[in-house]
Structure 1
């Protein structure tokens, strides 16, 4: 194969792969905690730029009265983009509403962090 044909083949291969690179990672979808105890439906809300997450499922051993009260409720509301792949908003957790952040770590990995006074917690998620 000549150099010109090799370059042409490489350019065609890159053009064919371009749509895969053109898609920005999105937090929209169904996520599960890495421990497998709960699942969430993440969507854009408000004017379409805020992020919301609804608790949709709980494993049997995670079905405490506090958690069951949040089932099918939004536990993240109105989170606004603060940086690339990062949003800040309110998070409902264990009966409290706190300020928190959602970070899309990778295409199929996300983390949520929140603090109340000096107590902070981070929860990691995987896309399902």
Structure 2
């Protein structure tokens, strides 16, 4: 392939990438179920600008509906997390009475990854999947 052909192919590839634009992901708003299938959350955009992320525990089952956990129904799991990029937020996570700094990433239309870190060193990740009734 000649140098001119390679330049032409390179320019065409760059034009194709620039004109494709970003892929649009589904809104994170909706009902999500944690990977263990024992809790569900209503996730919504919140805050004054409507760009923060909030998530409320709305259902417990499959053994998680114990007397110790029931007081956390209708409380925030994701507490006004601020956007840090497309499909990404940072903020406080509240899990059964424990709080941690967290990151939230919508990795696909139907999957969210929550990562919470206590003391900045002990981290745990959870997967949430869009729940379809």
TM-score, normalised with respect to structure 2: 0.74
- SS for the counterpart of 1:62 is coil
* 1:29-85 deviation per Cα after TM superposition (whole angstroms, max 9, x unaligned): 000012211000000111111110000000140123442121011111111111111
- Per the alignment, residue 37 of structure 1 pairs with 38
| Unpaired runs of at least 5, structure 1 | 1-20
TM-score, normalised with respect to structure 1: 0.77
2:102 is the counterpart of 1:124: no
Q: Alignment length, in residue pairs? A: 108
- Per the alignment, residue 11 of structure 2 pairs with none
- Per the alignment, residue 3 of structure 1 pairs with none
| Unpaired runs of at least 5, structure 2 | 1-21
RMSD across aligned positions (CA): 1.7
Per the TM alignment, residue 101 of structure 1 is displaced from its structure 2 partner at its CA by 1.0
Which is helix-richer, 1 or 2? 1
